[in-house]
Amino acid sequence: MKSIDIIIPVYKPDGKLLRLLDMLQRQTVRAERIFLVNTERSYFDAFISGTDFRHRYGNVSVKHISRREFDHGNTRRQAVLDSHSEYFVMMTDDAVPADEHMLENLLAPLWEGKAAMSYARQLPDGGCGLIESFTRSFNYPDTSLIKSKEDLAVMGIKTFFASNVCAAYNRAVYDSLGGFVEHTIFNEDMIYARGLIDAGGRIAYAADARVIHSHNYSSLMQLRRNFDLGVSHSQYPGVFEGTRTKKEGLRLVKSTCGYLLKKGKPWLIVKLVWHSGCKYIGFFLGKRYQRLPDGVVRLCSMNRGYWS
């Protein structure tokens, strides 16, 4: 049996974390260990107070760090060093496996030698808005795919699109490529994925490995999230330049408009245009963050601790 560990950064946990851990215990393929890297101990201690958390989840270990210590790249990088398994899975604390076969289906492309990294399909959660629900289906369709360097000319940035919301890694390949970057505001998953693609590796999108994960971001949150996205694109031009990012964004907007018309909800196009504008402004500013005053950068960023 191949060894598997799961690594989950945690911040201000809620009931989704418990549902996630419960579903991981029910998987047809079980992880040896689950590492929780929690930011700010007080939030976690308050969350588990009065519960049997440690008895209930015997294979779960918790490491606490401060907000100042958290970094999208290095926090995950350091957590991987604590694992000695042949394969590891990165997840976020708000992604819940949709069934008992999620891990098995996610890891299958790696076990079969088809890819060195795979990522799961994300399904909208209950209460998810119509626009966000379509965005999930646009980015995470129901057809699996193996992607390689040969796809860059046609697929562009989608070739190395791969989300750490739920992704599996071959540890030997990960180590050979140097692992996650040590310092990044965002996109540590895609930065690694681009390196894997450039090295001749393959990435699997495992559509039958499903997790429930979505957000209903406000327009301001969309702006801030895309600001950080723009910052990462600016800091890693070798990863993202020349990959037709804007074209992919326009394709999403056009497809969403068609979907809303088909659903008989044309008034939601106004919301779509507004949110899309906020995304573009955020990304535009983030790409040019070095020209902005420090106070503006902090105001626009979702990950303000990064600038400390």
HEC string of the chain equals CCCEEEEEEEECCCHHHHHHHHHHHCCCCCCCEEEEEEECHHHHHHHHCCCCHHHHCCCEEEEEECCCCCCCCHHHHHHHHCCCCCEEEEECCCCEECCCCHHHHHHHHHHCCCCCEEEEEEECCCCCCHHHHHHHHHHCCCCCEEECHHHHHHHHHHHHCCCCCEEEEEHHHHHHCCCCCCCCCCCHHHHHHHHHHHCCCCEEEEEEEEEECCCCCCHHHHHHHHHHHHHHHHHCHHHHCCCCHHHHHHHHHHHHHHHHHHCCCCCHHHHHHHHHHHHHHHHHHHHCHHHCCHHHHHHHCCCHHHHC
Which residues on neighbouring strands pair with residue 119, listed in sequence order? 167, 205
Mean pLDDT for back-to-back runs of 10 residues, the chain (308 residues): 91 93 95 96 92 88 93 94 95 96 97 97 89 90 96 90 96 96 92 96 98 91 94 90 71 89 90 92 95 94 87
For residue 1, the model assigns a pLDDT of 62
For residue 245, the model assigns a pLDDT of 65
For residue 242, the model assigns a pLDDT of 66
Q: How many residues does the chain have?
A: 308
6, 29 Cβ separation under 8 angstroms: no
Kindly report the pTM of this predicted structure: 0.93
For residue 190, the model assigns a pLDDT of 95
